[in-house]
Amino acid sequence: MTEKEILQFDPDKFVLTKKDFINILDNIGDRWKKNKKDNLRLLIELEGAKLYFRLKSDESIRELWGEIIREINEIMILNSIEMTKNDHDKTLDIFSQIRDKKIA
């Protein structure tokens, strides 16, 4: 990436397509199929979710799921802040472990 591209980068821009979502759901389904007996209900619901993505436009999916992801990120940040207030030392350890795993 050039410096200009880095400066113009928008982390809130959601670019995944419905094909990306269907691939993610297929991966989840592959894991759940290892135990079909216990996951039958979930596998059926997963097919419904895949149908949802097939019927919606990429624009609609990006708008809706972009908002959902932004809100989830906000919730995670707020949760992290509350954890820090309640148990500062443990939270710092957790954040350090997460950071170390991402760097490794």
Classify residue 23: in a domain, yes or no: yes
pLDDT at position 50 is 95
Classify residue 54: in a domain, yes or no: yes
Surface-to-core class of residue 80, CB atoms within 10 Å of its CB (0-12 exposed, 13-18 middle, 19+ buried)? middle
Q: Phi/psi at 75 (nearest 5 deg)?
A: -60, -40
pLDDT at position 10 is 67
Classify residue 90: in a domain, yes or no: yes
Residue 84's SS3 state is: helix
Q: Phi/psi at 87 (nearest 5 deg)?
A: -155, 70
Give CA–CA dist 75/64, Å, rounded: 17
Classify residue 69: in a domain, yes or no: yes
Each residue of 37-95: pLDDT tens digit?
999 999 999 999 999 999 999 889 888 988 888 888 888 877 877 777 666 666 666 76
